Amino acid sequence: MTGKATPSLRDEVDKARQSAVSAIASATDTASLRKVAAELANKKSALNAIRAQLGKIEDAAEKKAVGQALSEATAEIESARVARENELGDAEFAAQVERERMDLTEFLTGPRRGTAHIVTQATERLEDVFIGLGFQVAEGPEVETDFYNFEALNMPASHPARSEFDTMFIEPFSDQHEANTVLLRTHTSPVQIRVMQSWKPPIYAIMPGRVFRRDTPDATHMPVFHQIEGLVIDKGITFAHLAGIIEAFTKAFFGNEFTSRLRPSFFPFTEPSAEFDIRRANGSWIELGGCGMVHPNVLAAGGIDPDEYTGFAFGFGIDRMAKERHGVEDIREMYTNDLRFLRQFT
Ligand code: FA5
């Protein structure tokens, strides 16, 4: 190595330093930075190649100057590498945190849960009220026979009251049944017979369920709706017990400001019979159901001795109760499944 050569060796150190610093600056992630660092550490890297020639420099001052340039370049490159490593590491960590971030705000507002339908809510509340009054809950089938839906309820074939129930008949599914004797129940009253046949008095039962009629939908009618039947059979039961239970129920379900009234009516399965109305906040009355003293023929059809026991029964429309309780204008709104409507009743 000649004295002339050493200044250019220092230039080379400078060039190698610059190119190393710019390679470090252009690394876009920590993996590529590690690759750059590995190349710089390689024996064949520009700086290491110069370092290898150091021993050959004869001029001691030059040797020292090149050596110093080399160590300054090495220190600068190392600090550029450390700075870039921190910079890229921070950015990568921030990106990872962002990627794996959990949106905890959803736990603040709570996940959006579905809730029971307004009619289900009303049914459960009705059950609670009546259980509180000492009743038990029973259920019956939605597909019924003529016997339970009509005959046992004192409506023999050709009874004119049958026409009031716009009945949907279904094809009999066994040889046991004749045509037009299998139907979708038009009310929950057939469950009265089933309960009388399988329980022993005293009976204090409610029977909620879905019923079906060929009714055209309007603001107060649906072809598929819900009723809750009540049946009390015991010794010495009178109409006063019926009126008392209806009033107690009205106050418990709708609130103390509501009152009930019974209007004379007719049902083949009760005698005497009444319609049950409640008075709304605006003073108007709405019919919620029918009721009356269980007809002796019905008690007999249920296997109960009418000379020993008396009883009363009632049947209310649950959909209409839910409608009144929540001030819904049109019963059809409850079945459009519009979430904006349903979410009001969570
Ligand atoms: C009956 O269904 C009798 N089984 C009630 C009964 C039971 C009387 C026990 C005596 C003893 P009615 O057809 O009136 O009665 O219906 C009873 C209630 O069901 C009505 O007052 C009304 O609240 C509701 N309802 C009737 N038809 C519809 C309909 N299409 N849509 C919604 N609710 C209805």
Tens of pLDDT, residues 62-117: 888 888 999 999 999 999 999 999 999 999 999 988 888 876 665 666 667 788 99
Domain boundary among 48, 65, 100: 100
* pLDDT for res 283: 86
Q: Domain count of the chain?
A: 2
Report the half-sphere exposure of 254 (CA within 13 A, side-chain side).
25
Q: Are residues 133 and 247 in the same domain?
A: yes
Our CA dihedral for 157, 319, 126, 293, rounded to 10 degrees, sits at -30
* pLDDT for res 2: 44
For 156-159, the CB contacts below 8 A with 24+ separation are 159/268
Cα 205 to middle of ligand 1, angstroms:
18
Q: Are residues 43 and 127 in the same domain?
A: no
The residue nearest atom 32 of ligand 1, judged by CA position, is 221
Q: Are residues 79 and 136 in the same domain?
A: no
Q: Are residues 190 and 230 in the same domain?
A: yes
Query: Which residues sit with their C-beta closer than 6 Å to ligand 1?
Result: 187, 189, 213, 215, 221-222, 225, 227, 229, 267, 270, 273, 287-292, 313-315, 317, 319-320
Tens of pLDDT, residues 245-282: 999 988 888 888 888 999 999 999 999 999 999 887 78
The residue nearest atom 22 of ligand 1, judged by CA position, is 317
Q: Are residues 81 and 220 in the same domain?
A: no
Alpha carbon distance 76, 319 (integer Å): 82
The residue nearest atom 7 of ligand 1, judged by CA position, is 315
* pLDDT for res 231: 98
pTM of the model: 0.70
Q: Is residue 229 part of a domain?
A: yes
Cα 186 to middle of ligand 1, angstroms:
9
Q: Are residues 170 and 306 in the same domain?
A: yes
Residue 10 domain boundaries: 3-100
- Which residues contact residue 1 at a Cβ distance below 8 angstroms, ignoring those fewer than 6 apart? 9, 53, 56, 57, 58
Q: Is residue 301 part of a domain?
A: yes
- Expressed in percent and rounded to 5, the helix, strand and coil fractions of the chain are 50, 20, 30
* pLDDT for res 177: 78
Q: Is residue 112 part of a domain?
A: no
Domain boundary among 43, 69, 100: 100
Mutation probe of ligand 1 site: the residue of 149, 167, 225 with most atoms within 8 A of C-beta: 225
Q: What are the pLDDT tens digits along the chain (346 aa)?
A: 444 445 688 898 999 999 999 999 999 999 999 999 999 988 888 888 888 888 888 888 888 888 899 999 999 999 999 999 999 999 999 998 888 887 666 566 666 778 899 999 999 999 999 999 999 999 999 999 999 999 999 998 888 888 888 899 998 777 777 878 899 999 999 999 999 999 999 999 999 999 999 999 999 999 999 999 999 999 999 999 999 999 998 888 888 888 899 999 999 999 999 999 988 778 888 888 999 999 999 999 999 999 999 999 999 999 998 998 888 999 999 999 888 888 888 7
CATH classification at residue 237 = 3.30.930.10
Alpha carbon distance 324, 316 (integer Å): 13
Q: Is residue 111 part of a domain?
A: no
Domain boundary among 65, 100, 135: 100
The residue nearest atom 17 of ligand 1, judged by CA position, is 289
Helices (H) and strands (E) in the chain, counts: 12, 10
Cα 316 to middle of ligand 1, angstroms:
6
